[in-house]
């Protein structure tokens, strides 16, 4: 028996297949549908456009730059910290390195910061730690060589760190940490705060020459803690501040000791617009009989690093009448400033006193340095993109005070819930021990019932939830409870609830009282390692 030969039919993309049999109407419709099917991923020419390499690069850089600005380079307006600073402080907290605990190697904290929270390079993370160790007040309490503008910090394996008293008190308070939002870390196996619950605008304790991120150049001078706290406390109490009033209240300082010699109009412009110039000068001491000038602090750009110091001193040495100019830093020299800065300018002892005075003025002009700042901040969000903004100082303080009041409102709500829950529990326990004998008598029948909670509730005519609380508590623990102690607790909880409900009506006043008490306590016993303490209290 021979197999029948079948004729292969080629299916055309444009015409239906030829068949010897007449297709039914339904079959014809199927074939037509197959023919009309479009490619799975059609090329839509209207969605494409030609683009030069330059324009593509510009767009890609803008996207990357936005990420850098909003995610890494510019601090959040609430806690004043960049993500790397926040990661360092949160790592100190995670390691239990509070201000009253022993120091641990800085490398340990840096390792946790980059391994858990911020995948940065270890040297960059350590540099960030050094920065917030050298603020006034310090955010990190450092032990060892944490450097100065002219002296690099020792390696992280040599230095030790823990949280400063300031950070302990104003940035990482355990109660406030319960009411800030948290986000997942980069590996989704841990959490860290979206921002720390700052109780003072810590942004204004960190300063540097504004370094440009892509498309923005943001920075601000530092101010004394006392002057910042005065503004915050007053505004929390409802007082308004104008740019002029901020100028009159805030005291600018530089963390390495140079003096603010800015013109009033420059500072007013900065407060009004957010952008302005601050002029710094070093502490200068002259010995007229010896015809010697001592430069005792650092200054941005002119006395800011070994390189700039050497260039500036070379310029000074070229002044007619100057014999020599040299740098000899070190805290052991009695002529050195509080940070160990010391540059000496020597003139001939027989130099005319008027000429010596002219040289002093000329040196002062050479050393003065102006830094242009522009206040820029990031608003970090958990469920939406972060946002970068330039602000003037009045707008900044208003926004920060609004944040601070909302933080206080969340804490009040949390504490109210906690105290009301605790009050209810203690009232139930007091009821239970007041009826302990009867409870022990009926307990066997209660426990053998199909629904013990409902049975006990029915017997004592109490809510089922209260019956469950009693039955969940061990009888041995109930029997050891003292009625008078419980009554005292109940009284305290009621008083706390009453106060919290009153505070809820005026959270700003509660925040002002709290801030005032914390500042007073801190300034009485500040971080003792801080050489800029007199300025801190100005």
- Last residue in a domain, options 150, 179, 196: 196
Question: For the ranges 22-26, 69-73, 320-324, 341-345, which has the lowest average pLDDT?
Answer: 22-26
Distance CA 526, CA 111 (A): 28
* Structural domain includes residue 94: yes
CATH code at 102?
3.90.199.10
- With b meaning 16 or more CB within 10 Å and e meaning fewer, what string describes 12-26? eeeeeeeeeeeeeee
- Closest Cα to residue 106, out of 132, 142, 70, 64? 142
Number of independent structural domains in the chain = 3
Looking at the structure, tell me whether residues 444 and 496 fall in a common domain.
yes
Note whether 66 and 191 are same-domain residues. yes
pLDDT at 207: 83
CATH of the domain at 347: 3.30.70.60
Q: At what angle do helices 452-460 and 464-472 cross, to 10 degrees?
A: 110
The mean of the pLDDT values for the chain is 86
How far apart CA 109 and CA 93 sit, in angstroms, is 10
Helices (DSSP H) in 113-205: which residue ranges?
A: 122-133, 165-170, 174-177
Answer for the pair 218, 206: CB distance below 8 angstroms, yes or no: no
Considering the domain architecture, whether residues 327 and 419 belong to the same structural domain is answered as: no
The catalytic position among 158, 195, 373, 418 is 158
Could you say which of 164, 196, 228 is where a domain stops? 196
User: pLDDT tens, 399-450?
Assistant: 999 999 999 999 999 999 999 999 999 999 999 999 999 999 999 999 999 9
Do 414 and 348 lie in one domain? The reply is no
Is 158 a residue of the active site?
yes
Q: What is the pLDDT of residue 63?
A: 52
Structure tokens at 321: 């009448």
Q: Are residues 361 and 415 in the same domain?
A: no
Q: Is 20 domain-assigned? A: no
Whole-model pTM: value is 0.83
Q: Residue 503's Cα: distance from chain center in Å?
A: 27
CATH number at residue 476: 1.10.268.10
Q: What angle do CA 531, 94, 383 make, to 5 degrees?
A: 105
Residue 221 lies in a domain: no
Nearest to 518 by CA among 172, 31, 106: 172
Q: By percentage, how much of the chain surpasses pLDDT 90? A: 67
- 87 and 175 assigned to the same domain: yes
Q: Beta strands 252-253 and 140-143: pairing type?
A: unpaired
Q: Are residues 144 and 73 in the same domain?
A: yes
Residues 189 and 72 in one domain: yes
Query: Is 255 part of a structural domain of the chain?
Result: no
More confident residue, 388 or 42: 388
The domain containing residue 168 runs over which residues?
A: 62-196
The DSSP call for residue 209 is P
Rounded-to-integer distance, Cα 232 and Cα 251, Å: 14
The whole-angstrom separation of Cα 150 and Cα 295 is 13
pLDDT at 161: 96
Residue 529 pLDDT grade (very low, low, confident, very high; cuts 50, 70, 90): low
**Within a domain: 454:** yes
């Amino acid at each position: 028996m021979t197999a029948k030969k079948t004729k292969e039919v080629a299916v055309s993309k444009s015409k239906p297949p030829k068949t010897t049999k007449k297709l039914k109407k339904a079959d014809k419709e199927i074939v037509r549908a197959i023919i009309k099917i479009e490619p799975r991923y059609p090329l839509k020419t209207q969605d494409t456009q030609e683009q030069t390499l330059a324009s593509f690069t510009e767009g890609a850089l803008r996207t990357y730059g936005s990420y850098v600005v909003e995610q890494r380079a510019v601090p959040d307006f609430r806690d004043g910290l960049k993500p790397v600073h926040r990661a360092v402080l949160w790592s100190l907290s995670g390691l239990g390195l509070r201000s009253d605990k022993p120091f641990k190697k800085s490398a340990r904290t840096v390792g946790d910061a980059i391994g858990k929270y911020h995948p940065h390079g270890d040297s960059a993370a350590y540099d960030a730690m050094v920065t917030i160790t050298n603020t006034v007040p310090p955010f990190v309490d450092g032990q060892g060589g944490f450097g100065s503008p002219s002296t690099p910090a020792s390696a992280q394996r040599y230095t030790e760190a823990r949280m400063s008293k300031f950070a302990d008190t104003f940035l990482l308070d355990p109660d406030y940490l319960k009411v800030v939002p948290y986000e997942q870390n980069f590996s989704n196996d841990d959490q860290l705060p979206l921002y720390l619950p700052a109780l003072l605008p810590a942004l204004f304790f960190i300063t540097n020459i504004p370094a440009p991120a892509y498309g923005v150049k943001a920075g601000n001078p530092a101010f004394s803690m006392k002057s910042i706290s005065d503004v915050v406390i007053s505004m929390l109490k409802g007082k308004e501040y104008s740019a002029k009033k901020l100028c009159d209240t805030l005291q600018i300082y530089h963390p390495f000791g140079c003096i603010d010699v800015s013109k009033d109009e420059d500072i007013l412009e900065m407060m009004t617009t957010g952008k302005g110039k601050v002029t710094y000068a070093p502490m200068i001491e002259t010995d007229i009989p010896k015809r010697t000038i001592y430069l005792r602090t650092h200054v941005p750009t002119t006395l800011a690093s070994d390189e700039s110091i050497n260039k500036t001193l070379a310029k000074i040495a070229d002044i007619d009448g100057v014999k020599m100019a040299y740098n000899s830093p070190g805290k052991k020299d009695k002529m050195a400033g509080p940070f160990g800065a010391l540059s000496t300018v020597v003139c001939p002892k027989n130099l005319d006193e008027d000429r010596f005075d002219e040289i002093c003025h000329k040196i002062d002009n050479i050393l003065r340095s102006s830094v242009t700042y522009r206040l820029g901040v990031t608003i970090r969000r958990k469920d939406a993109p972060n946002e970068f903004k330039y602000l003037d100082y009045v707008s900044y303080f208003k926004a920060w005070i609004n944040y601070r009041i909302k933080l206080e409102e969340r804490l009040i709500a949390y504490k109210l819930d906690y105290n009301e829950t605790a009050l209810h529990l203690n009232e139930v326990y007091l009821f239970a021990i007041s009826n302990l004998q009867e409870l022990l008598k009926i307990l066997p029948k209660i426990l053998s019932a199909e629904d013990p909670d409902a049975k006990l509730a029915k017997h004592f005519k109490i809510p089922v939830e209260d019956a469950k609380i009693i039955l969940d508590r061990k009888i041995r623990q109930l029997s050891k409870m003292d009625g008078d102690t419980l009554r005292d607790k109940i009284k305290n909880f009621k008083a706390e609830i009453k106060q919290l409900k009153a505070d809820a009506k005026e959270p700003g006043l509660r925040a002002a009282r709290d801030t005032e008490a914390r500042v007073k306590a801190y300034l009485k016993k500040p971080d003792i390692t801080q050489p800029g303490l007199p300025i801190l209290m100005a």
